[in-house]
Structure 1
Amino acid sequence: MKFLIAIVGLLVVLGLAYLISSNRKNVKIKPILLMVVIQLLLAYLLLNTKFGLVVIEGIAGAFSKLLTYAGEGIAFVFSGIANDGEAPFFLTVLLPIVFISVLIGILQYFKILPFIMKWIGFLLSKVNGMGKLESYNAVASALVGQSEVFITVKKQLGKLPPNRLYTLCASAMSTVSMSIVGAYMTMIEPAYVVTAIVINLFGGFIIASIINPYTVTEEEDILVVQEEKQSFFEMIGEYILDGFKVAIIVAAMLIGFVALIAMINSLFNMIFGISFQEIIGYIFAPFAILMGIPVAESVTAGGIMATKLVTNEFVAMIDLGNAQANLSERTVGIISVFLVSFANFSSIGIVAGAVKGLDEKQGNVVARMGLKLLYGATLVSVLTAIIVSVII
Structure 2
Amino acid sequence: MEYIIGVIGLVVILFLAWIGSNDKKKVKYKPIIVMIILQFILGFLLLNTGAGNALVSGIADGFGALLKCAGDGVKFVFGGLENSHQSTFFINVLLPIVFISALIGILQYCKILPFVIKYIGLVLSKVNGMGKLESYNAVASAILGQSEVFISVKKQLGLLPEKRLYTLCASAMSTVSMSIVGSYMLLIKPKYVVTAIVLNLFGGFIISSIINPYTVTDEEDVLEVQNEKKQSFFEVLGEYIMDGFKVAITVGAMLIGFVAIISLINSLFTWIFGMSFQDILGYIFSPFAFLMGVPLNEAVKAGSIMATKLVSNEFVAMTTLASGHLHLSIKATAIVSTFLVSFANFSSIGIISGAVKGLNEEKGNVVARFGLKLLYGATLVSALTATIVGLIV
The aligned residue for residue 23 of structure 1 is 23
Deviations 1:88-118 (A, max 9, x none): 0000000000000000001111110011001
How many residues get paired? 392
1:114 corresponds to which residue? 114
Contact 2:195 2:338 in 1 (8 A): yes
1:271 corresponds in structure 2 to 272
Deviation, 1:226, is 1.1
CA contact (8 A) 1:324 1:332 kept: no
TM-superposed deviation, 1:290: 0.6
Kept in 1, the 8 Å contact 2:301–2:326? The answer is no
Percent pairwise identity: 68
The TM-score with structure 2 as length reference comes to 0.99
Inter-partner Cα distance in structure 1 for 2:227 and 2:385: 33
Q: What SS does the corresponding residue of 1:188 show, helix, strand or coil?
A: coil
Give matches, 1:287-326, under 5 Å: 287-323=288-324, 326=327
| Correspondences of 1:167-178 after superposition (within 5 Å) | 167-178=167-178
Unaligned segments of structure 2, at least 5 residues: none
CA distance in 2, matches of 1:35, 1:83: 47
Shift of 1:2: 2.2
Is it true that 1:96 corresponds to 2:68 in the alignment? no
Aligned to 1:158: 158
Once the two structures are TM-superposed, the CA of residue 272 in structure 1 deviates from its matched residue by 0.8
Return 5+ residue gaps in structure 1 as ranges. Answer: none
Structure 1 partner of 2:245: 244
> Paired residue for 2:348?
347
Q: Distance in 2 between matches of 1:307 and 1:6?
A: 23
* Runs of at least 4 residues off by over 3 Å: none
Q: Secondary structure of 2:80's match?
A: coil
Which amino acid is 1:83 matched to? N
How far 1:324 sits from its partner (Å)?
A: 5.4
Task: Give the match's secondary structure for 1:326.
Answer: coil
The one-letter amino acid paired with 1:383 is L
Match of 2:322, as an amino acid?
G
For 1:176-255, what aligned pairs fall within 5 Å after superposition? 176-228=176-228, 229-255=230-256
TM-score by length of 1: 0.99
Query: What whole-Å deviation, never above 9, does each CA across 1:120-177 have from its counterpart, x for those lacking one?
Result: 1011100000000000000000001000000001110100000000000000000000
AA at the equivalent of 1:64: G
* Aligned residue number for residue 377 of structure 1: 378
1:323 deviates by 4.4
CA distance in 2, matches of 1:324, 1:61: 27
Distance change >3 Å, CA 117–CA 352, structure 1 → 2: same
1:19 deviates by: 0.4
SS in 2 for 1:80: helix
Structure 2 residue 310 is the aligned partner of structure 1 residue 280? no
Q: Alpha-carbon deviation of 1:321?
A: 1.6
- Structure 2 distance, partners of 1:267, 1:311, is 18
For residues 207 and 53 of structure 2, the distance between their equivalents in structure 1, rounded to whole angstroms, comes to 29
**Distance in structure 1 (CA, Å) of the matches to 2:350 and 2:368:** 7
